């Protein structure tokens, strides 16, 4: 039985009315008086030196207010370590910015781009991660010999987890009953592709204050980052609702820098909105992940060792690839309990559109290659994968090295119960016929099932702060730098505060996402909204309530802790005496301001398992996703509809469908992306939905007052490997890379020439 008034009950999103009536203003919907439009000239070559740029004609076009080249832009840099200039004398991928224009209209800006004359000196280019590592391969950056991004950088603290080397591999080899070696890859670099393209407005006040209205999943962190990178400048960010992000709009400097540079040059606000082609061909995609690995298993499913080279293709620059590697290495230990690891990642740059942050953050990229390797060993050992995961997924008391390089021990839940319930709901035992055996067959159509697992301990990552202000009229205002990016988190923190203060939800609101009025907020990433952001808000609300009761206690002649409040009236607990309104304590001229802060805690891994059933037409090679069952345990549901929405999100945004048809196709002769539009980049439509069901357990977790953790980020992550397993089982041939397009299926079945498996590029 749900004991709460708001928590766990479906309530309309606070922003619902504005969303369904079109009033919600996304960054692209805003305009400022005197605003100019920014445009970016992009490189047609994958690797070249800019010999000369002639901007004379463009600058002369009426309506053009500024044209900037690498010689004039500020020397701001992004990336890890800092290596990406706003504009450079060298271009490293097709789509790399070459010049910036600010103009009175978008049309004039585009016309001006056509008038800029650039002379390039082409350089040889490299796209494959292993070719980029070869001696003599084209080098992208002078400072990165061998195209390898350095490890010795500060990300998530001074000693981030950059490899996983523990125990004794030789002992693991000796203990193994089965050893398997192989290569699996997840290199189709899908685009999370939110419907809202990267968009921003930048404006300067004087020369020392920059205000940015970004489409950003973490606007407060953007303020902190820009403040650091831009030097002695006051940066203010005002986040607006984000039209989808899925991680991709957390790091926004790629589009903020050009707008800020043009705004500085012209002294006017500049709006920059990427076109869809720019979004698909010049914005960050997933990391490419290739794993040469070796794994040992005992007959009982114990993993005795894992060793391997994890080759991470980050494209033309590292947005935060080393950080994603750190999280990936951490998450590997949650999926398999193993005493002996030797997993060595290398982050490598190549001449294609850069990779960046996408939900799954390194973990999904590694897992999509690691789990298929493990299944080869399970096959040899004759193990059922569900039983394997039940045995091997991290349990309370198990330890792991996390992204900060420190050893943490789980205080969480044993998720075996959720796995068991998920398997029963899916009908796993009836459908599972063994490795590489279809579940059923009907002429040329064969069905298969597969399962994948994922989890992170990032639900408690990083710092959140919040203030909760009580006003005498019985309302509460949350000061939080949280941007709404679709999960309903801004509404959910209102529910938490309403629950603590026992006031109607209508009486709780959140401040605008303005860095000038809010304390620090890292942002809703890593499924941290419920535990970390919620934790700060809960603490602030409790603090405010305590202050209120101190003010009210004298009116009752009791101690503050004897009081309770409901619907804006305070009373003595367990007594039928008077009920006095908040204003009695605060008077009309006072408020209570509670402060809350969440400190990082990596002891609570979350969990997601996905079961899939596919049908393969062995005549055409087409794969249909028939059914998906997700299984998780969230401790306590905050809002049922928002949760199912997030879990249903497992399909797109570079999730399950990246196993089936989603890919960014690179022409490796010219370095160009061939499907940079929404007809050639395939996405799932309303007409092709699989049956979808979720098993959601609520075993109270030791997180905060409501015993909940989030799972939104990880909802898609177990999906691709589950689909790979299901298709392999359906056709009886093991597949080792993605996406499973018809040509790949037919090749695997011997119906088309060429080797199956890896080697798309």
Positive or negative, the Cα torsion across 130, 136, 140, 141? positive
Pick the piece of the chain touching other proteins (CB under 8 A) from 327-335, 480-488, 597-605, 661-669. 480-488
Least distance from other proteins to the Cβ atom of residue 35, Å? 12
Of residues 2, 71, 105, 559, which one binds other proteins by CB under 8 A?
105
In whole angstroms, how close is the CB of 510 to other proteins at the nearest point? 16
The pair of three-digit structure tokens given for residue 396, joined into one six-digit string: 């309370």
Q: How far is the CB of 263 from other proteins (least distance, A)?
A: 20
Distance (Å, rounded) from C-alpha 468 to C-alpha 448?
Answer: 52
Q: How far is the CB of 686 from other proteins (least distance, A)?
A: 4
Where in 173-192 is the site for other proteins (CB under 8 A)?
192
Residue with Cβ nearer other proteins (535 or 719):
719
CB nearer to other proteins: give 283 or 402: 283
> Which part of the chain contacts other proteins (CB under 8 A), choosing from 414-422, 453-461, 609-617, 673-681?
673-681
Q: Does 529 bind other proteins (CB under 8 A)?
A: no
Q: Which of residues 12-41 bind other proteins (CB under 8 A)?
A: 12-13, 15-17, 19-26, 28-29
Q: Specify whether the CB–CB gap between 56 and 117 falls below 8 A.
A: no
How many CB atoms are closer than 10 A to CB 644? 17
Of 409, 512, 517, 689, which lies in the binding site for other proteins, with binding defined by CB under 8 A? Answer: 689
Helix (H) or strand (E) holding 140: none
Instruction: For helices 385-392 and 363-381, give the axis angle rounded to 10 degrees.
Output: 120
Nearer to other proteins (CB atom), residue 33 or residue 750? 33
In the bound state with other proteins, the residue whose beta carbon lies nearer, of 277 and 593, is 277
CA 257/CA 83 separation, integer angstroms: 14
User: CB 105 → other proteins: shortest distance, Å?
Assistant: 8
Of 166 and 644, CB closest to other proteins: 644
Question: What is the gyration radius of the CA atoms in the chain, in angstroms?
Answer: 27
Report in angstroms how near the CB of residue 683 gets to other proteins at its nearest. 6
Q: Taking CB under 8 A as the rule, does residue 42 contact other proteins?
A: no
How far apart are alpha carbons 135 and 292 in whole angstroms?
20
> Which residues share a beta bridge with 99?
41
Residue 82 or 689 having the CB closest to other proteins: 689
Instruction: Classify residue 121 as exposed, middle or buried by CB count within 10 Å of its CB (0-12, 13-18, 19+).
Output: exposed
User: Please, what is the minimum distance in Å from the beta carbon of residue 142 to other proteins?
Assistant: 38
Tokens read off for 585: 């304590």
Stretch that binds other proteins, among 41-49, 316-324, 442-450, 679-687 (CB under 8 A): 679-687
Alpha-carbon gap, residue 397 to 460, rounded angstroms: 17
Question: How remote is the C-alpha of 46 from its chain's centroid?
Answer: 27
Q: Which is nearer to other proteins, 111 or 187 (CB)?
A: 111
Residues numbered 628 to 667 that lie near other proteins (CB under 8 A) are 639, 641-642, 644-646, 648-653
Return the number of the residue (18 or 54) whose C-beta is nearest other proteins: 18
Q: Closest CB to other proteins among 328 and 652?
A: 652
- Comparison of 188 and 728: residue with beta carbon closer to other proteins: 188
Tell me what percent of the chain is helix, strand and coil, each rounded to the nearest 5. Answer: 30, 25, 45
Tell me the site size for other proteins, rule CB under 8 A.
59
Taking a C-beta distance cutoff of 8 angstroms, is the pair 718, 608 a contact?
yes
**Measured from the CB atom, is 155 or 676 closer to other proteins?**
676
Looking at the Cβ atoms of 207 and 685, the one nearer to other proteins is 685
By CB under 8 A, residue 674 contacts other proteins = no
Smallest Cα–Cα separation from 738: which of 315, 367, 185, 359? Answer: 185
442-471 positions binding other proteins, by CB under 8 A: none
When asked if residue 9 is in the footprint of other proteins (CB under 8 A), the reply is: no
Q: Which of residues 197 and 530 has its CB atom nearest to other proteins in the complex?
A: 197
Please choose, from the candidates 396, 360, 377, the residue with its C-alpha nearest in 3D space to the C-alpha of residue 659. Answer: 360
Q: Please state the closest distance from residue 537 (CB atom) to other proteins, in A.
A: 20
Task: Kindly state the smallest distance separating residue 646's Cβ from other proteins, in Å.
Answer: 7
Nearest residue to 78 (alpha-carbon basis) of 287, 255, 248, 313: 255
User: What backbone phi and psi angles, to 5 degrees, belong to 399?
Assistant: -110, 165
> Is residue 97 a contact point for other proteins (CB under 8 A)?
no
Of 96, 187, 196, 319, which lies in the binding site for other proteins, with binding defined by CB under 8 A?
A: 196
Q: Which is nearer to other proteins, 28 or 472 (CB)?
A: 28
Contact present, 474 and 483 (Cβ < 8 Å): no
Residue list 210-249, contact with other proteins (CB under 8 A): 241-246
Asked whether the beta carbons of 155 and 320 are under 8 A apart, the reply is: yes
- Of the candidates 100, 86, 91, the residue with the CA atom closest to the CA atom of residue 121: 91
Closest distance between other proteins and the C-beta of residue 438, in Å?
A: 27
Residue 194 binds to other proteins (criterion: CB under 8 A): yes
H runs (alpha helix) in 216-339: 219-229, 253-266, 276-281, 321-335
Looking at the DSSP assignment, which residues form a beta bridge with residue 160?
Answer: none
Please report the DSSP string for 450-479 in residue order. EEEEE--SGGG-S-EEEEEEE-TTS-EEEE
Least Å distance, CB 492 to other proteins, is 12
CB 352 within 8 A of CB 671: yes
For residue 502 the two structure tokens come to 């026992």
Distances (CA, A) of 65 to 38, 144, 259: 10, 37, 13
Q: Which residues within the stretch 481-500 sit at the binding site for other proteins (CB under 8 A)? A: 484-488
Binding site for other proteins (CB under 8 A): 10, 12-13, 15-17, 19-26, 28-29, 104-105, 107, 192-197, 241-246, 275-276, 484-488, 639, 641-642, 644-646, 648-653, 677-679, 683, 685-687, 689, 692
């Amino acid at each position: 039985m749900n004991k709460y008034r708001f928590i766990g009950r479906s309530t309309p999103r606070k922003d619902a009315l504005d969303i369904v009536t079109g009033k919600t203003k996304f960054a692209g919907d805003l305009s400022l008086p005197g605003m100019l439009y920014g445009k970016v000239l992009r490189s047609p070559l994958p690797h070249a030196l800019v010999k000369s740029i002639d901007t004379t004609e463009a600058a002369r076009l009426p309506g053009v207010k500024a044209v900037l080249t690498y010689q004039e832009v500020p020397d701001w840099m992004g990336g890890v370590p800092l290596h990406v200039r706003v504009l450079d004398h060298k271009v490293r991928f097709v789509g790399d910015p070459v010049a910036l224009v600010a103009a009175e209209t978008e049309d004039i800006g585009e016309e001006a781009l056509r008038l800029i004359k650039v002379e390039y000196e082409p350089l040889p280019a490299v796209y494959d991660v292993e070719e980029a590592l070869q001696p003599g391969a084209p080098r992208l950056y002078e400072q990165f010999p061998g195209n390898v991004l350095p490890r010795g950088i500060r990300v998530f603290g001074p000693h981030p987890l950059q490899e996983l080397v523990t125990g004794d591999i030789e002992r693991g080899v000796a203990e193994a009953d089965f050893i398997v070696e192989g290569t699996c890859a997840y290199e189709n670099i899908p685009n999370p592709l939110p419907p809202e393209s990267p968009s921003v407005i930048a404006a300067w006040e004087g020369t020392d204050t920059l205000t940015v209205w970004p489409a950003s999943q973490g606007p407060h962190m953007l303020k902190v980052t820009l403040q650091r990178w831009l030097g002695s400048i006051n940066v203010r960010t005002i986040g607006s609702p984000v039209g989808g992000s899925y991680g991709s709009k957390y790091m926004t400097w790629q589009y903020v820098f050009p707008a800020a540079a043009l705004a500085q040059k012209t002294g006017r606000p500049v709006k920059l909105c990427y076109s869809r082609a720019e979004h698909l061909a010049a914005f960050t995609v997933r990391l490419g992940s290739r794993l040469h690995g070796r794994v040992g298993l005992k007959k009982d499913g114990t993993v005795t060792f894992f060793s391997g080279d994890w080759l991470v293709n980050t494209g033309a620059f590292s947005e935060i690839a080393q950080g994603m590697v750190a999280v990936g290495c951490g998450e590997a230990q949650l999926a398999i309990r193993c005493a002996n690891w030797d997993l060595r990642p290398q982050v490598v740059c190549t001449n294609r559109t850069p990779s960046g942050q996408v939900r799954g953050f390194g973990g999904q990229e590694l897992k999509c290659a690691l789990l298929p390797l493990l299944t080869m060993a399970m096959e040899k050992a004759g193990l059922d994968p569900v039983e394997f995961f039940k045995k091997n997924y991290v349990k309370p008391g198990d330890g792991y090295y996390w992204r900060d390089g420190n050893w943490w021990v789980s205080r969480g839940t044993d998720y075996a119960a959720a796995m068991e319930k998920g398997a029963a709901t899916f009908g796993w035992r009836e459908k599972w016929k063994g490795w590489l055996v279809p579940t059923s067959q009907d002429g040329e159509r064969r069905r298969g099932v597969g399962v994948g697992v994922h989890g992170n301990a990032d639900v408690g990552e990083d710092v959140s702060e919040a203030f909760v202000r009580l006003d005498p009229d019985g309302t509460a205002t949350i000061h939080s730098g949280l941007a709404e990016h679709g999960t309903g988190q801004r509404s959910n923190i209102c529910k938490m505060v309403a629950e603590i203060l026992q006031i109607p939800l209508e009486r709780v609101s959140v401040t605008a996402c303005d860095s000038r009025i809010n304390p620090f907020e890292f942002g809703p990433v890593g499924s941290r909204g419920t535990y970390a952001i919620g934790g700060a808000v809960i603490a602030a609300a409790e603090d405010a309530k305590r202050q209120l009761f101190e003010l009210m206690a004298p009116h009752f002649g009791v101690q503050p802790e004897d009081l309770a409040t409901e619907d804006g009236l305070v009373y003595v607990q367990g007594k039928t005496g008077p009920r006095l309104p908040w204003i009695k304590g605060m008077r009309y001229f006072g408020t209570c301001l509670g402060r809350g802060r969440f400190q990082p805690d990596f002891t609570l891994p979350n969990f997601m398992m996905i079961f899939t059933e596919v049908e393969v037409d062995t005549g055409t090679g087409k794969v249909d996703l028939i059914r998906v069952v997700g299984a998780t345990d969230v401790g306590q549901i905050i809002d049922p509809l928002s949760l199912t929405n997030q879990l249903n999100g497992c399909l797109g945004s570079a999730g399950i469908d990246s196993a089936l048809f989603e890919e960014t196709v690179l022409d490796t002769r010219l370095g160009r992306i061939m499907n940079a539009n929404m007809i050639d980049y395939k996405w799932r439509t309303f007409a092709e939905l699989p049956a979808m069901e979720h098993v959601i357990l609520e075993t109270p977790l030791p997180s905060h007052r409501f015993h909940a953790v989030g799972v939104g980020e990880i909802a898609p992550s177990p999906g691709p490997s589950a689909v790979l397993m299901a298709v392999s089982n359906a056709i009886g041939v093991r597949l080792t890379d993605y996406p499973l397009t018809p040509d790949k299926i037919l090749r695997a079945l011997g119906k088309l020439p060429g080797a199956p498996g890896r080697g798309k590029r």
